[in-house]
Structure 1
């Protein structure tokens, strides 16, 4: 009898622990977990912030799979996650009402949420998406099965389009219906605006180029219409980095004259919120320095000078600022669109040659050295596939040997018979070419126009050939 009473009292204490914080929470939060398939287990409660996942708390379930996530201060609204292991995670929404229960019958079932309407609606949405994905995969498999039957493929494509349209309509309807809530804003933010066919100007309907221009301008202008970057709750979702990446690297035309002004407009629009100002500026700066698109480094220099070197980046430490300052100094002299710095270098006989006195329509400046593995293939290719195939009055090559071993340099020149272009070097390292042209690796190729403006840089020979073909200097292969 005593044993039974003791067991009942223990069960009562566990239940009391599970209930009391709900009553006492006030302005705090109390999220009850009932995880039948995870008894006596550790569960991490994590949250999203700016594309990353951080641990908020570590919970231990009791023998019945119960646990309580609670605190005296309200949680930041956003998307949270229960992390069980690498195979099992459960996302849930925390909105205005932070007193609710999450139940999970077993390790494979979908969660059930009760007590907070936003959290409940979000789970219903996830269930809808999962159901649609299953149907989508089934139809896609059938489409593949009947891929040789055009009528069947057309029918399946129509079904897939209809499914996407229905989900889009559902999101927009939910967003409008619950516009004053985080759930409503989240649903709306899933949409990316695109012009309807009846919105297109008549001229654009008949001309593919005009259609592309109109649709591009529309997407760039309206991309953020549904996604409120000023809403800090949206920074606590999994999608913020994806949306920024897509805007900067896909929606915008990848040219510095397009990306830099758009980036500055986006930053300035949100600079009143210090956290968002910091996040946007840091993200776009890092994106621009990591980009492999030619010319986007101009965006890095522009943002660095405007926000970092001017002292507006209040969050940056001295070491990072020094690195940024050095990168700007190295890159600024040789940005695309700039006039190339003058070089006055000598040939093997000691005669000096000016870069700016090259009179051809285009000039390739090649920094190289014979011990560089890539140079051993690229420099002969540059000579054979570019220089010899171009009209000498249209293209010249100013080939700069970057090291000091004259014998090694001349042996390579003789071995590969690359005597007809201008071979020069800087034996006394007095021209400062490494700084002026940012030469940190070899080969480094620059393409200049007749005014010696940099129109392309840091490309391999294959890319250079494509550019020269588009300019009419080489015949397309």
Structure 2
């Protein structure tokens, strides 16, 4: 899992620069006569190094390159990496900046960068609101009751309105600038009064359907800012129905909005791919497989090398056979007496299939807990426990079974890996647990004892309801 993330993030960063005529940022530092000056950029909410330069004895540093930087919010990081100022990069990429560490807001001066003059004006405005902001935080921290906290709400609203008015006025006065693009993306839809007869979901549906209206996904401007990742995270965690099929539809719709911007397409597809490949929630791997099959396999991930692409596709094809709703792969193994057994010839209303290792610390904890739940509840509900050894010696395997009295289980091993179970069941760690129905269809996986209990109770209640 970690290895795939490294591949994805390395590919995402790719070349830092867009083809054009280059950039040059000349920096003048007060009270510095040596050290290293750094230029970093956001990629989502994380920052990465873009360039660096030595500081001369006169406090000067020059950052330059032959190709233009991609637009976004960059960080000018002072020697020692303890202080920085944010700066905007857009079309004008040859400019100078004078920085005085005594006051990074009021004593910073740009020359040749109208975008940063405007950005500096915004930062000065925020600085002016600092005393009110600190007062609000202090009152909230010292509040002794809900009533005390409620008294602070008018101040919070006042501050929020001030900032909102500044941004709205800025958008009106400076349309088309990168800062206006950022401010527009930060806005959220204002839900109108519901029409007569509207149901209770009107506000949610309106907010969701208009969520991306003012987010510019047709250009590269938001990729190297924290804004886009924040918008994606909120949308897919708070607004999208937590169902793989619904998520796939929304993924495709958001990706479709990025088609005019290679960088936006690249970032959004990467974020969704990583988010759902590494999701801790059951069933979300289906979204990962969908993304790979729809965008990676046809060759749309243009930034990947063949080796990187193959690893991502291979990962998806490993997961694909054991998605929830799929028929479990045939599995034959030898029991503790060396008799051949078959998963499909082991009848059960439910089968809990556990791939485990007698030397694995987590298995030593979880298998006895699984067995306790099986004896206390699951057995009388028609559950059959099937355990398959993945590592360890035969002696270690049998000793664990005997010591923990796992006599009610069907135990097996495939020492020659003839069934290729590791690939078919994506057994990359242990214990790996699957819940199968009476037709051996996968209905749940990677669940602990409590989650299995809840799932079985819920599924059985639903089956009973359907009978009546």
What range is the shorter-chain TM-score in?
Answer: 0.7 to 0.9
Gaps of 5+ in 2: 1-20, 462-468
- Cross-structure match for 2:254: 266
- Cross-structure match for 2:412: 424
Whether contact under 8 Å (1:333, 1:341) holds in the other structure is: yes
CA distance in structure 2 between the aligned counterparts of 1:237 and 1:300, rounded to whole angstroms: 25
- Cross-structure match for 1:277: 265
CA 1:382 to 1:77, structure 2 compared with 1: closer, same or farther past 3 Å? closer
Whether contact under 8 Å (1:29, 1:70) holds in the other structure is: yes
1:135 counterpart (119, 125, 132): 132
CA 1:402 to 1:103, structure 2 compared with 1: closer, same or farther past 3 Å? closer
CA distance in structure 2 between the aligned counterparts of 1:443 and 1:131, rounded to whole angstroms: 56
SS in 2 for 1:184: helix
1:398 counterpart (371, 386, 389): 386
SS in 2 for 1:136: helix
CA 1:67 to 1:201, structure 2 compared with 1: closer, same or farther past 3 Å? farther
The structure whose RCO (Cα within 8 Å, separation 6+) is larger is 2
Q: TM-score by structure 1 length?
A: 0.79
CA 1:119 to 1:200, structure 2 compared with 1: closer, same or farther past 3 Å? farther
CA 1:69 to 1:322, structure 2 compared with 1: closer, same or farther past 3 Å? closer
- Cross-structure match for 2:225: 237
What's the CA shift for 1:48?
4.1
CA distance in structure 2 between the aligned counterparts of 1:406 and 1:70, rounded to whole angstroms: 64
1:144 counterpart (141, 145, 148): 141
CA 1:112 to 1:364, structure 2 compared with 1: closer, same or farther past 3 Å? same
SS in 1 for 2:74: strand
CA distance in structure 1 between the aligned counterparts of 2:93 and 2:334, rounded to whole angstroms: 75
Q: Alpha-carbon deviations, 1:404-430, whole Å to 9, x = none?
A: 844433332222222123233335543
- Cross-structure match for 1:178: 174
Larger Rg: 1
Does residue 81 (structure 1) correspond to residue 75 (structure 2)? The answer is yes
- Cross-structure match for 2:185: 189
Q: Alpha-carbon deviations, 1:301-351, whole Å to 9, x = none?
A: 222222223333333223223322331232111112212123344433455
Does residue 365 (structure 1) correspond to residue 360 (structure 2)? The answer is no
CA distance in structure 1 between the aligned counterparts of 2:93 and 2:292, rounded to whole angstroms: 41
Matches within 5 A, 1:313-462: 313-356=301-344, 359-390=347-378, 392-403=380-391, 405-426=393-414, 429-462=417-450
Matches within 5 A, 1:17-166: 33-38=27-32, 42-48=36-42, 51-56=46-51, 58=53, 60=55, 63=58, 65=59, 77-84=71-78, 85-95=80-90, 102-110=97-105, 111-113=107-109, 116-148=113-145, 150-166=146-162
Whether contact under 8 Å (1:118, 1:183) holds in the other structure is: yes
What's the CA shift for 1:294?
1.9
Q: Alpha-carbon deviations, 1:382-439, whole Å to 9, x = none?
A: 0102443235244222222335844433332222222123233335543332222111
- Cross-structure match for 2:212: 224
Aligned positions, number = 437
Gaps of 5+ in 1: 1-26, 205-209
Cα RMSD for the two superposed structures: 3.4
Whether contact under 8 Å (2:73, 2:86) holds in the other structure is: yes
CA distance in structure 2 between the aligned counterparts of 1:365 and 1:417, rounded to whole angstroms: 18
CA 1:394 to 1:220, structure 2 compared with 1: closer, same or farther past 3 Å? farther
Moved more, 187-196 or 242-251: 242-251
CA 1:312 to 1:143, structure 2 compared with 1: closer, same or farther past 3 Å? closer
SS in 2 for 1:235: coil
Whether contact under 8 Å (1:285, 1:300) holds in the other structure is: yes
What's the CA shift for 1:215?
4.7
CA distance in structure 2 between the aligned counterparts of 1:341 and 1:269, rounded to whole angstroms: 38
CA distance in structure 1 between the aligned counterparts of 2:195 and 2:136, rounded to whole angstroms: 32
CA distance in structure 2 between the aligned counterparts of 1:170 and 1:254, rounded to whole angstroms: 36
Q: TM-score by structure 2 length?
A: 0.80
